[in-house]
């Protein structure tokens, strides 16, 4: 029983080729200018550097606040800070204090 091999259609082969070429063009475009492509990498790096600088500033602020809170520890209360806060809250001055009045 003889069988004949059907020769593939040139239109079908050309269609597959064009489809795959279009997919490759789309992927190449995405690599270059997509959301996480090569063009946006520099923007992401700049944003990362800015956020790292912001983080460093916040860490310095955090350490300063921790130090201030540690000074108010009831087990080891600093007398200078206590008198300063008491004078500020009670609006009182010591006889040796110098007062500078400024106009608004």
Domain spans, the chain: 10-72
Distance between CA atoms of 90 and 88, rounded to whole angstroms?
6
- CA neighbor of 82 nearest in space, from 63, 74, 100: 74
Distance between CA atoms of 50 and 45, rounded to whole angstroms?
9
Pick out the chain residues at pLDDT < 70.
1
Query: How do residues 14-31 score in pLDDT, each as one tens digit?
Result: 999 999 999 999 999 988
| pLDDT of amino acid 69 | 83
pTM > 0.75: no
Q: Is 64 helix (H, G, I), strand (E, B) or coil?
A: helix
| pLDDT of amino acid 1 | 65
| pLDDT of amino acid 81 | 76
| pLDDT of amino acid 47 | 93
Distance between CA atoms of 32 and 38, rounded to whole angstroms?
5
Q: Cα angle at 41 between 38 and 44, to 5 degrees? A: 160
């Amino acid at each position: 029983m003889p069988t004949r091999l059907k020769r593939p259609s040139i239109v079908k082969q050309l269609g597959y080729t064009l489809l795959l070429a279009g997919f490759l063009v789309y992927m190449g475009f995405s690599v270059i200018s997509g959301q996480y492509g090569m063009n946006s990498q520099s923007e992401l790096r700049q944003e990362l550097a800015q956020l790292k600088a912001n983080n460093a500033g916040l860490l310095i602020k955090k350490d300063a606040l921790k130090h201030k809170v540690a000074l108010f520890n009831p087990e080891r209360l600093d007398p200078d800070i206590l008198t300063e806060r008491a004078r500020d809250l009670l609006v009182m001055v010591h006889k040796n204090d110098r007062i500078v009045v400024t106009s608004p």
